[in-house]
Amino acid sequence: MNTTFSDQQFELCYPEGIDFHWWYIARNRLLASILRRESDSDSVFLEVGCGRGPVVKGLRDFGLNVHGVELAAVEPIQGVQAFVDSGVDACDLPLERRSRITGLLLLDVIEHLPEPEPFLEKLAGSFPNLSVIIITVPACQEIWSNFDDFYGHYRRYTLDMLDDLSAQLNWTTKRAGYFFRLPYLPLRLMSALGIKRDTQMYAPGKAMRPVHRLVSSLCRVEETVLSIQVRGTSAYAVYRPQRVALQT
């Protein structure tokens, strides 16, 4: 099954400069805090399904050793060409490279799979020194919209669903939580009223970048004020995978 984005989807979702969007700034900050807890000086992370690499760029700007791999043959954004492999299956990377990876990031990936368990099991088994897998997903089925249809989502997740996923894989859930609570109520209302979302992501111009930084700061405030159990538009889970025989 081919779950890669079409050229149109990539164009709409990854315009040049999208890394300045509040959504990416806020999520990168959250991911950086998680990765710092899970890393030491020898840690190397690989983002699987990285698209054109805006997260790779953002996390490397935080000083984290993050690389990316994308199954579709796309052009990486400026600044990460040396750290992103496109047109490559992560499991087909040379064993020497896979052996250096200690953590995998699957950021808004598994919702594109009808049954993610076989994919995740194979992926984890292809990296012999893996100690952590971090997953983010769209959350809460009640805010399903045309956006999910357009980008080929099969579901939006709850924390219970993420916990069930780890149980099926015999992984350990170290922690999990919702984020992006601020957009939840507006999107819940739009869903209830049948209002369609714009399926295009817009990179902010220079004049709007301070506004996007401000919005991302508000998202940071919500992380400190609200419980991770409060529903949001996205969710994350940090897993310790089961050690399995290497799949070469």
Question: Tokens 């250096």, residue?
Answer: 100
Q: Which residues contact 162 (CB under 8 A, 6 or more apart)?
A: 135, 137, 173, 176, 235, 237
* pLDDT tens, residue by residue, 155-166: 999 999 999 999
Phi-psi sector, 120: left (phi>0), alpha (psi -120 to 50), beta: alpha
pLDDT value of residue 246: 57
Strands of 57-210, DSSP E = 66-70, 84-86, 103-107, 132-138, 172-179
Phi, psi of 154 (to 5 degrees): -95, -25
25 to 105, 130, 218, 219: CA distances (angstroms):
17, 27, 11, 10
pLDDT of amino acid 166: 96
User: What residues contact 115, with CB distance under 8 A and at least 6 apart?
Assistant: none
Tell me the per-residue pLDDT of 38-86, one tens digit each, with 9 for 90 and over. 988 899 999 999 988 999 999 999 999 999 999 988 889 889 999 999 9
In whole angstroms, give the CA distance from residue 203 to residue 188: 24
What are the structural domains, with CATH classification, of the chain? 7-240 (3.40.50.150)
Amino acid 40: pLDDT: 87
Question: pTM, whole model, 2 decimals?
Answer: 0.91
d(CA 159, CA 177): 7
With contact defined as beta carbons under 8 Å apart, do 232 and 179 qualify?
Answer: yes
